[in-house]
Structure 1
């Protein structure tokens, strides 16, 4: 992308939308090929067959001592253009070679041509363009999870970037400071594409956030969590709807890493980029962390967090003060939930506390002021259900219908606030709920009040078997077609997805 094209895309909103469509037509995007357009999950005739039989070599990963590898610190992506209120980034989506286990190179996917991707840093009110070039042999569609974007730039399932094509995603960043992330959203294949590496942090900052004095620079560290099933050759093994065997825990692409820290405060931007795994995170000696943000905004006030629950797609903005421990102490991040062997999935990473360091950062008692939860003019009830384990065939639904890309399930009037009660009707299987475009305010749950760390702006909420969660969303930003779905991506690929149209 040259400078002139970038600056043209930075123009008025309407012009940018039109320009985006024109660019898409030139860039090699297209409607989904026949066989993908009407996919209804694994039980339907449409759509590619997903691997459901686990290979014999799976789970035989190479030997590795936990906490022996250093944590990769994600670099910042460097814009190719930065001018006139605009930053432009170039990303090549490639199949690359990486040594997840040392001495065992294997093929994975990567944004920005890397298994360990850089961080895209954006600023509230300043436009960002990320031009994604698809150099793989599969269609891709990039979604900015938690972003409030026009339909054409939302990562549309019906308009993937075909192999050899490219597309410039335009993000206005007209939203609060928060931890977002880029990931694949190609229907039927997003679960495997994300599992194999198509994800990258995207951090939005603002003048308000910077004025707080939170830990920054080298003391602000993104931590991207995921899990994997690994074969004897060190390669990733993908089997649909298999969480139990994905027992290798990766942080920033590295299994069970170790991070050397100094005796001062650190800020950790934690993203659960797993396709299926829930994490319940804590520190090994029980010391509470401090949660300052979740999903799409800072919290209004810091919340002491002995444990933090993150379902797939959720984020937590955490501060840990390592001056509480003497030099030489090891403090582990542990995970208190399965499935899988707890000697593997119960371990996440290790902090090794080093020397003292000066620290002028603070965690203020007041972090931000969020708008009041508006009254709702429409109430809806949404149900999520899928076949229980051992059932054949496996079917996943929203409101008893499996996903059909040609169908609009819900029509929403522009400018309205709606209250949705979302119920997990599965008897044993957890789900979560993610809605594109509109951020959620969690009101309560059938099991009790919303937790303090759910009271910021949310875009993904966990819902346990038999539980309901009540949320409000205001649809006053963009018109168009947007999905809502379970963000356990294997469940979405199996049909637990629907579409709303804002008119």
Structure 2
């Protein structure tokens, strides 16, 4: 329920952020402000589910991808301008293997600079997608977005035309994703289409009898709004942010892999669903209708030690859930709808599966999935407070400034980071993976299991995470993954020393 739908004025809603009245109003599930579109909505469950193509290397270990403008059909009968990796939305899926370094050469043919972040990746700092490390269009020219070849932030680094992002891929198998991370403009760039999957595989995962091939589905869930001509609607001027959407932007059309409320035929067998909430602000609580459950096998940063059964799956922006659904539990010819119980009306539907036929199923979900990294002993505790201060979203009361460090953890150590908030803030740590230790001093939710890189910190909540700093020294970030909050300076730097 949005503030506007609850009958609150904009000023009144934002005023609630200063005190515990927020929870008392019943707005505890608010994550963003709804932006209604004017294009005719397609009938749900009529568009086939697209599967993003898998990128192929141009030479061993080297991939090339071009960010460019394209016009594609998202709503039937209309064309939408997207900014896409290789002109597609989502971009191509990069299938990487642990221990096999990869370089992804990103060329920029868009009218604006970009910075690509491998979300969940353990990467050197110069390939992490720092928000002022920019690939500018060839010639240094740019159109809307208010950016040309000159620097707009202190310490900006410009790469003309292209940049090689080098990924050692030393981490466990996991569902990662990549997206634009440019300073002040992440939200509109991702809304316009700059996002895609990156799947890391390894021998430990290969040895498991999990569903694969056509029964392994990467599902990027996000919301968008469309103008009558099919173009994306987004409430932003080139000069700054629309204060009516300070808490974040929610669209009224739900997309999965870039298609509105798609439908997908499945056999009556187990299927692996790699779920990603790639929304700017919308939170999800997924459920299967008319019934059934999810067997969680992995989290943001890899496989769990053992599977966990859930009836519902909460997912904040940036989070991933790796689950298995057994469609043999449903009669052939039946439909199974993935719904979001945090939304009413059309946005309450996500996609539909049609159980088309029986088939042989030699997959299984073993009782033991993996041996995750051992839980390290923390060397210290730090606190990070995410809240509105004055007219800004801040971390520890500070508006983000590149290079202004809030912590200097040591490489090879672990720390407890205590995260507090006044609103829904999905907190994402670059480089560092973590375990959720507690919520308000109590055990975490079952869906918090496993090593993660993003956690939903809810209004007036205290979340303790155990973060380990492994891989590389250098400057990294933590920030809110509500992308409008991120663009409004709710970020902070830390340096691994």
Task: Sort the TM-score into its range (normalised by shorter chain).
Answer: 0.7 to 0.9
**Matching residue of 1:379:** 381
The partner residue of 1:117 within 86, 91, 94 is 91
1:268-279 equivalent positions in 2, closer than 5 A: 268-279=273-284
* Cα distance in structure 1, aligned partners of 2:441 and 2:259: 36
Preserved contact between residue 48 and residue 264 of structure 2 (Cα < 8 Å): yes
The aligned counterpart of 2:215 is 219
- The partner residue of 2:447 within 453, 456, 464 is 453
The corresponding residue for 1:400 is 397
Q: Which residue of 2 aligns with 1:294?
A: 299
Report matched runs for 1:145-164 at 5 Å. 145-164=119-138
- The Cα shift of 1:244 comes to 6.4
Within a 5 Å distance, the mapping from 1:121-132 to structure 2 comes to 121-132=95-106
Gaps of 5+ in 2: 1-31, 139-160, 236-241
C-alpha displacement of 1:456? 1.1
What are the Cα deviations for residues 101-147 of structure 1, in whole angstroms up to 9, with x where unaligned?
A: 11111211111221242211001111111110001011100000000
2:336 pairs with 1:318: no
Match of 1:95 among 49, 69, 72: 69
CA distance change for structure 1 residues 196 and 447 in 2, over 3 Å: closer, same or farther? farther
1:228 aligns with 2:224: yes
Structure 1 residue 108 corresponds to structure 2 residue 82: yes
- 1:52-104, Cα deviation, whole Å (9 max, x unpaired): 9999xx5112231111111112221111112xxxx221100011111111111
Counterpart-to-counterpart distance in 2, 1:455 and 1:404: 33
CA–CA separation in structure 1 for the residues paired with 2:34 and 2:262: 27
Asked if the contact 2:34/2:250 (under 8 Å) is kept, the reply is: no
- The SS at the match of 1:415 is coil
- 8 Å CA contact 1:133–1:167 kept in 2: the answer is yes
**C-alpha contact 1:293 1:453 (8 A) present in aligned 2:** no
Aligned to 1:390: none
Query: 3-state DSSP class of the match of 2:447?
Result: helix
Moved more, 236-245 or 446-455: 236-245
1:346 alignment partner, one of 342, 345, 348 = 348
The offset of 1:286, in angstroms, is 2.6
Q: Matched residues in 2 for 1:280 and 1:254: separation?
A: 20
Contact 1:62–1:233, Cα closer than 8 Å, also in 2: no
Structure 1 match to 2:188: 192
* Deviations 1:326-371, CA, capped at 9 Å, x for gaps: 1110110000113xxx111110000011011111111101101122
**Which residue in the other structure is 1:368 paired with?**
370
CA distance, structure 2, for counterparts of residue 147 and residue 190 of structure 1: 18
Question: Which whole-Å CA distance do the structure 1 matches of 2:445 and 2:250 have between them?
Answer: 30
CA distance in 1 between counterparts of 2:136 and 2:367 reads 48
In structure 1, how many angstroms separate the alpha carbons of the residues matched to 2:164 and 2:249? Answer: 37
CA gap of 1:460–1:220, structure 2 versus 1, over 3 A, is: same
Counterpart of 1:28?
none
Alignment of 1:329-344 (within 5 A): 329-338=334-343, 342-344=344-346
SS in 1 for 2:74: strand
Between the aligned partners of 2:301 and 2:282, the Cα distance in structure 1 is: 21
1:193 counterpart SS class: helix
Which among 39, 46, 49 is matched to residue 71 of structure 1?
Answer: 49
Q: State the Cα deviation string for residues 416-461 of structure 1 (Å, max 9, x = none).
A: 211111111x1xx311111101101111110631223323110000
SS of equivalent residue, structure 1 residue 147: coil
Q: How far, CA to CA, are the matches of 1:476 and 1:180 in structure 2?
A: 17
TM-score by length of 2: 0.85
**Preserved contact between residue 299 and residue 453 of structure 1 (Cα < 8 Å):** no
Q: Residues 76 and 120 of structure 1 are in contact (CA less than 8 Å); yes or no, is this contact kept in structure 2? A: yes
Q: 4+ residue stretches of structure 1 with deviation over 4 A?
A: 52-55, 242-245
Measure, in 1, the Cα distance between the counterparts of 2:164 and 2:177. Answer: 16
Deviation of 1:415 after TM superposition, in Å, equals 2.5
SS of the equivalent of 2:233 reads coil
Residues 250 and 282, structure 2, Cα contact 8 Å, conserved in 1: no
Shift of residue 498, structure 1, vs aligned partner: 0.4
Alignment match, 1:9? none
Instruction: After TM superposition, list the pairs within 5 Å mapping 1:409-488 onto structure 2.
Output: 409-424=406-421, 426=422, 429-446=423-440, 448-488=442-482
Partner of 1:492: helix, strand, or coil? helix
Within the candidate set 100, 109, 114, 1:140 is matched to 114
The match for 2:259 is 254
Asked if the contact 1:93–1:133 (Cα under 8 Å) also holds between the matched residues in 2, the reply is: yes
Question: Structure 1 residue 482: deviation in Å?
Answer: 0.6
* 2:203 matches 1:207: yes
SS at match of 1:414: coil
User: Is contact 1:91–1:113 with CA below 8 Å preserved after alignment?
Assistant: no
Deviation at 1:267, TM superposition (A): 0.5
Calculate the TM-score normalised by the size of structure 1. Answer: 0.84
Paired residue secondary structure (1:354): strand
Unpaired stretches in structure 1, ≥5 consecutive residues: 1-51, 388-392
Task: Check whether the contact 2:429–2:479 (CA below 8 A) recurs between aligned residues.
Answer: yes
